[in-house]
Amino acid sequence: MDGQRFERALIGFLVGGLAGAGMSYLFMWIFNKVSIWMGREPVQITWASVLPLAILFGLSMAINMAHPPLGD
């Protein structure tokens, strides 16, 4: 793997990880608001609950950045 491809993969992993963590946090926050509205106890949002989707999005973005599906 050359340097430029590695750099794109690293940037893709970081951006995808942040996007995945943000989406997971947002959906859990909305779920908690609905849970409170329905009279149920909300779920605690922790790093362990946000991390799986962040890793999944990060890996998928890194793969797509390193090997773009569409060429020039």
Report how far residue 38's alpha carbon sits from residue 42's, in angstroms, rounded to the nearest whole number. Answer: 10
Give the pLDDT score at 71: 65
**What pTM value is reported for the model?**
0.82
Q: Read off the pLDDT of residues 4-51 as tens digits, 9 standing for 90 and up.
A: 899 999 999 999 999 999 999 999 999 999 999 999 999 999 999 999
In the predicted structure, residue 72 carries a pLDDT above the cut 70: no
Give the pLDDT score at 1: 61
In the predicted structure, residue 62 carries a pLDDT above the cut 90: yes
Give the pLDDT score at 14: 96
**What Å distances lie between residue 68 and 13, 36, 64, CA to CA?**
14, 43, 5
Angle of helix 3-37 relative to helix 47-66, nearest 10 degrees, comes to 140
Would you give the DSSP letter of residue 42?
A: P
How do the domains of the chain map onto residue ranges? 3-66
